[in-house]
Amino acid sequence: MMNAMINNVSVEVEDGLTILEAARKYNINIPTLCHYPELHINSDCRICSVEIDGRKGLKTACSTPIKDGMNIITNSPRVLNARKTITELILANHDANCTACTRNLNCELQSLAKNLGIDINRFPSVLERKPLDLLNPSLVRNSNRCIKCGRCVDVCKNVQAMHVLETMHRGHEMTVGPAFDEPLNDQTCTFCGQCANVCPVGAIMEKDNTDVVWEKLHDPSVYVMVQIAPAVRVAIGETLDHENGLISNGKLVSALRHLGFDHIYDTNFTADLTIMEEGTELIDRIMNGGVLPMMTSCCPGWINFAEQRHPNIIDHISSCKSPQQMFGTLAKTYYADKSNIDSRDIYVVSVMPCTAKKYEATRKEFRSFYDIPDVDIVLTTRELSKMFRQMGVDFDLIKEEPFDNPFGITTGAAQLFGASGGVMEAALRTVYEIVNKKPLVDINFESVRGLQGIKEATVDLGGKEIKVAVSNGLANTKTLVEQIEAGTSPYTFIEIMACPGGCIGGGGQPYGTTNDVREARLASTYFIDEEMVCRKSHENEMILALYEDYLDEPNSEQAHHLLHTYYEARK
C-alpha cells in the first residue's frame, strides 16, 4: 500500500497502479481518449496529462505508476489548457461534421470536447480528405474521421493477432489502415469488426443497411421476415439507455413488429438444428474414423480466418452451415413450400451481433435458388438500435410478445450460442445423451464458460474419454490451429469464436464492450438458459417435427443438401 495526494485528497492504494487507476478508485475522473480497458496503454492522445509535483512537464495518468508521496494535480489551469489544446488539435485534423456521423451523441471525441468546454477551435482545419473504403460488405473505413488513437491497431494486432491494420507514414500524414492503404477486402481481414467496436469515433463502422430494410418493409410485394441472434437480445438494451445485459426478447419482438416485419423468428431455432446436424456429424466422425478434431463452423470470422490463412485445416471444420444460413435456407425452401410463396418474394433480414455475418450472407455458397441469397441482408445490433431510434420506439413502454411460429420454439441450449463455450455446451448436452443413451446428471458445463482465452473439458462418450477445447478471440484460435497443423492437438472437438467472449462480444455489438459488459451479457445468457423449460436441442419438439416433416433425419441426404456447405482456400 502507498499514500499519495491527488488534488489535495490523500489516497491510499495498492502498489503497481497507474495514476489513472488510483484516481478512479477515489472517484476522481481524469478524462481519457485513447485509453480502453483490456487494450495496451498507448499513451498516444496525451489527454490524461496531469501535473506531478517536482516533475518537469506533464505526465500521462494512464501510463505513469503512482509512487509513494506523489502530489498529483489533475485540474489546474495548466492541465486543463493542455487538454483543451490537444483536443482542438485533434479536431483540426478530423472530419468534425458531427450531425452527419453515425456516432453523433455517441462519440468519445465529441463528448470529450463538450466536457472540456471547447466552443471555438483556435486552429484551422488541416484535414486532407481521403476516399472511403466501401468495397467490402461488412466494414466501412472513413480515414477522415480517424484520430489515430491506435485502438483498432492494438485490437487487430494483439487481441486478434490478425495484423491487418497498422499505422503508416509519419507526422500529421500518419494514417491507420491496411498495408499500402489497400481496401480491406484485398487483405486477409476476417471482418470480425473488433476494430469498429473499439473505435472512439466513426472511423471504422459496419456498412449501414438500414435504408434497404426500410425500403423492403414498405414494399407490399415481399414477405419480410427477420431472425434474431441469441447475443442481440442481451445487448441491445444498452443502446436504448438500459442497464448492461438487459434481457429483451419480448420487447424486441414487439418492437420489430412495430417496424413492420411480417414474421419475427428466432435464430435460436436453427441453432438447435445446428446442434442436431453438427452433433450427428461429430458422432459420425468419431465412430467412422473421420477427420478429428472437428471444429465448429458457426462463426464467419473464424471461417474467413481458416480459409485465408490456414486452408490446410479446412477438413477439420464441420460442414454445417451457421444457424443464420440454415435459417435462410429453411425460409426459402421449407417455409416457401409450406406457405406456397415464391421464395423470390421472401426477404430474410437477420439481426446479428456481428459484422462478418454481413460478408457470410453474400457468399456464393449460400444462394440456394435463382441465385438469390438465402439471407438477403444482415443488420448489426447497432443498426437495429438505429432503426428503433429512427422510428421512436420506446423500449420502456413497449409490451412483450413471443416469437412467431414455426421458427420460434427454442431451447436453452440454443441461447448459449451467444456465449463463448455455448456451442460446445449445447453440443455436449445432445451428443452425450445420444451416445451414452442416458440423461446427463449436470447439464451445466461450467469449465467451458467464462472469458478465458482457451477452455478445456473432458467428456465420457460411450466409455471413451474425449477432450474438447473452446477458444475465443483469434489470437487463441491461432494457437489451437497451429497445434492441429503440427499434429499435436489432443482434442476431439473444438469450438471457435472469433471475438473475445463469443458473439456477446461481437464486432456488431453496442460500443463500449469491455469485460465488465461481457460478463453482464454472459450472465443474462446463462439466466435465459436456466429459465427455459427445455434446455437440450434434441428435445426441441419443433425440431423433431421438422425432421419428421421435411428433413428426414440428421445428416440425411436432404439435410445435407440444405444445411451443409463446403470451404475452400481464399486469398
Partner 1 sequence: MKEHKLLTKRFGEIDPFSIEDFVNVGGYETLKKAMKMTSEEIIYEVEASRITGRGGANFPTYMKMRAMSKETGDMYLVCNADEGEPGNFKDKHLMEKDPHQLIEGMLISAYAVGANRGYIYIRGEYQSAVYLLEHAINEARKHGYLGQDICGKDFHFDLEVRQGAGAYVCGEEFALLESIEGKPGRTRVKPPFPTEAGLFMKPTLINNVETFSTLPHIIEMSGEEYGKLGSSFASGTKLISLSGNVKHKGLYEVEYGTTIRQVIEELGGGVSNGQKINMVQLGGACGPIIPEHLLDMDIDNERFEIFNSKMGAGAIIVIDDRFDLFEILLRTMTFFAHESCGKCAPCREGHIQIVKLLQKFYDTKVTYKDYESLVSLANVIHETALCGLGQTSTTSILATVEFFQYYYQQRIRQSERREWAL
Provide the binding-site residues for partner 1, judged by CB under 8 A: 41-47, 49, 56-58, 60, 63, 65, 78, 81-82, 85-86, 89-90, 92-93, 122-124, 126, 147-148, 150, 167, 169-174
Q: Catalytic pick from 206, 307, 360, 383? A: 360
Q: Catalytic pick from 108, 206, 278, 425? A: 278
In the complex, the smallest distance separating the C-beta of residue 42 from partner 1, rounded to whole angstroms, is 7
Q: How far apart are CA 223 and CA 216, in angstroms?
A: 9
Q: How far apart are CA 240 and CA 233, in angstroms?
A: 12
In the complex, the smallest distance separating the C-beta of residue 463 from partner 1, rounded to whole angstroms, is 48
Q: Is 278 a catalytic residue?
A: yes
**441: CB partners within 8 A, 6+ apart:** none
CB 282 within 8 A of CB 493: yes
Q: Is 400 a catalytic residue?
A: no
In the complex, the smallest distance separating the C-beta of residue 62 from partner 1, rounded to whole angstroms, is 9
265 forms beta bridges with 227
H/E run at residue 388: helix 381-391
Going by DSSP bridges, is the β-strand pair 166-168/454-461 parallel, antiparallel, or unpaired?
unpaired
65 forms beta bridges with 18
Other C-beta atoms within 10 Å of 231: how many? Answer: 32
C-alpha cell at 215: 425500403
> Of 86 and 542, which has the nearer Cβ to partner 1?
86
In the complex, the smallest distance separating the C-beta of residue 197 from partner 1, rounded to whole angstroms, is 22
Q: Catalytic pick from 146, 156, 298, 320? A: 298
> Of 123 and 369, which has the nearer Cβ to partner 1?
123
**125: CB partners within 8 A, 6+ apart:** 92, 93, 96
In the complex, the smallest distance separating the C-beta of residue 143 from partner 1, rounded to whole angstroms, is 13
H-assigned helices in 405-463: 412-415, 422-436
Q: Is 318 a catalytic residue?
A: yes
Q: Is 298 a catalytic residue?
A: yes
> Of 165 and 426, which has the nearer Cβ to partner 1?
165
Q: Is 156 a catalytic residue?
A: no
> Of 121 and 515, which has the nearer Cβ to partner 1?
121
Q: Catalytic pick from 248, 318, 350, 368? A: 318
In the complex, the smallest distance separating the C-beta of residue 82 from partner 1, rounded to whole angstroms, is 5
Q: Is 357 a catalytic residue?
A: yes
C-alpha cell at 344: 423470390
Q: Catalytic pick from 59, 357, 358, 455? A: 357
**Sheet strands side by side (includes 49-52):** 9-13, 2-6, 71-73, 49-52, 59-60
C-alpha cell at 184: 480491406
> Of 89 and 532, which has the nearer Cβ to partner 1?
89
Give the DSSP letter of residue 459. E
Q: Catalytic pick from 108, 281, 307, 425? A: 281
H-assigned helices in 184-232: 194-198, 210-217
175 forms beta bridges with 168
C-alpha cell at 432: 452425450
> Of 146 and 375, which has the nearer Cβ to partner 1?
146
Percentages (nearest 5) of helix, strand, coil residues in the chain = 40, 15, 45
Q: Catalytic pick from 182, 215, 365, 553? A: 365
Q: Is 465 a catalytic residue?
A: no
> Of 125 and 390, which has the nearer Cβ to partner 1?
125
In the complex, the smallest distance separating the C-beta of residue 309 from partner 1, rounded to whole angstroms, is 21
3-state secondary structure 298-317: CCHHHHHHHHHHCHHHHHHE
Q: Is 548 a catalytic residue?
A: no
> Of 42 and 420, which has the nearer Cβ to partner 1?
42
C-alpha cell at 70: 506523489
In the complex, the smallest distance separating the C-beta of residue 90 from partner 1, rounded to whole angstroms, is 6
Residues designated catalytic: 278, 281, 298, 318, 357, 360, 365, 503
